[in-house]
Structure 1
Amino acid sequence: MKRRDDVLLVDGYNMIGAWPMLARLKDENLEDARDKLLDMLADYQGYTGMEIVVVFDAHQVPGSGAMFKQHRVTVVYTKEKETADACIERLAVEKAKRSRNLFVATSDLVEQHVAFGKGALRISARELLTDVQQNRKSIEKALERPLSNHRNELDNALSLDVRMKLERMRRGEP
């Protein structure tokens, strides 16, 4: 069971390649696939409360890398000559000290073993997709429930003195 102070490190391109809907989208537009992944993980984060860090491999792209927030999900583009696997290993060591549970989502078998060695729990791309989809269904089910006929009135929670002052204000009395 995942808790609010847990951390999930995600190998972004690994998920894009392994999740069928993102793999198809990647063939048309890689940026759209990245955005869709981040949207899905943002919903997942909102539901679970976990800290999510998505790492994208930029080792073949010149530059110093980047880190920013998108929908409260931390997005990391690796530095030049740094692989996503190396970045995830580094983050796993840093985050393992500060979180209750550390999860690493990748289908790269070698990376799973390395993450396990760093104290992280492994999640395959398929397992994460299943969890994301199940959480999505739970959210949709909760939104479909009809609103209760009971009103949540503030008046019942206020003291008599406060209610009287508010009533006088409503009437325009001093």
Structure 2
Amino acid sequence: MRRVLLVDGYNMIGDWPELKALQMKDLENARDVLIEKMAEYQAFTGMEVIIIFDAHMVPGLGKKYKNYRLSIIYTREKETADERIEKLVKELKRVDTQIYVATSDFVEQRVIFASGAFRKSARELRNEVLSIEKGIEKEVSKTREKKVKTKLPITDEMAELFEKWRRGKG
């Protein structure tokens, strides 16, 4: 079954404390951090992620592009993220597709739920992302703790040199 998560980008930025603080200094950086976090989320969960940003924050024509294998949509002028999300829910709705919408906008949550999609609040999504990040950190530290085991007795320097060669960096 295909699972799709539609994320109201500026809603998450305005709700997640770390992104909200960053937004005050640098909105573009806050967007980039959200995109990176959603890329990790997509890679870890296998769920397709589409982030929608309102055009009123970035003037100009609406555009869509892929970054980190995510779809990122900037709405057209005079089109809200909520309107685009509602259109996407209708376009994507199929028997073999589960659609989730991440927003803390109560009215939008009701409209989405009535359209047959599941909702995730900004806090729920943030908690999932934090949990995933902790899981990734544990896996990385486990991997680092494991020493490369070889049948040949070699020095640590030689093992490091062979590892560089193996990775094409030597």
The C-alpha deviation readout for 1:85-110, integer Å capped at 9, x for no partner, is 00000001111227531100000000
With the length of structure 1 as denominator, give the TM-score of the two structures. 0.79
- Residue 66 of structure 1, CA deviation: 0.2
Q: Is the partner of 1:103 in helix, strand or coil?
A: strand
Residue 78 (structure 1) aligns with: 75
| Percent of pairs with identical residues | 49
CA–CA distance in structure 2, aligned partners of residues 26 and 50 of structure 1: 26
The one of 100, 111, 118 aligned to 2:97: 100
CA–CA distance in structure 1, aligned partners of residues 36 and 42 of structure 2: 10
CA–CA distance in structure 2, aligned partners of residues 112 and 64 of structure 1: 26
Q: What 5-or-longer segments of structure 2 have no aligned partner? A: 151-170
- Residue 59 of structure 1, CA deviation: 4.2
Q: Is the partner of 1:141 in helix, strand or coil?
A: helix
The one of 34, 47, 62 aligned to 1:50: 47
Distance change in 2, residues 1:59/1:82 (3 Å): farther
With the length of structure 2 as denominator, give the TM-score of the two structures. 0.81
Q: Is the partner of 1:101 in helix, strand or coil?
A: strand
Distance change in 2, residues 1:29/1:59 (3 Å): closer
The reply on whether 1:137 has 2:148 as its aligned counterpart is no
Residue 146 (structure 2) aligns with: 147
Q: What 5-or-longer segments of structure 1 have no aligned partner? A: 152-174
- Residue 62 of structure 1, CA deviation: 5.0
Give the superposed CA RMSD. 1.9
CA–CA distance in structure 2, aligned partners of residues 54 and 99 of structure 1: 21
The C-alpha deviation readout for 1:119-168, integer Å capped at 9, x for no partner, is 110100000000000011111111111437667xxxxxxxxxxxxxxxxx
Q: Is the partner of 2:97 in helix, strand or coil?
A: coil
* Moved >6 Å (runs of 4+): 148-151
Letter in 2 for 1:124: S
Letter in 1 for 2:21: R
The C-alpha deviation readout for 1:35-61, integer Å capped at 9, x for no partner, is 000011111111011110000001476
Of structures 1 and 2, the larger Rg is shown by 1
CA–CA distance in structure 2, aligned partners of residues 41 and 9 of structure 1: 11
State the aligned residue count: 148
Distance change in 2, residues 1:101/1:26 (3 Å): same
The one of 97, 116, 119 aligned to 1:122: 119
CA–CA distance in structure 2, aligned partners of residues 22 and 126 of structure 1: 12
Contact kept, 8 Å, 1:60 with 1:81, in 2: the verdict is no
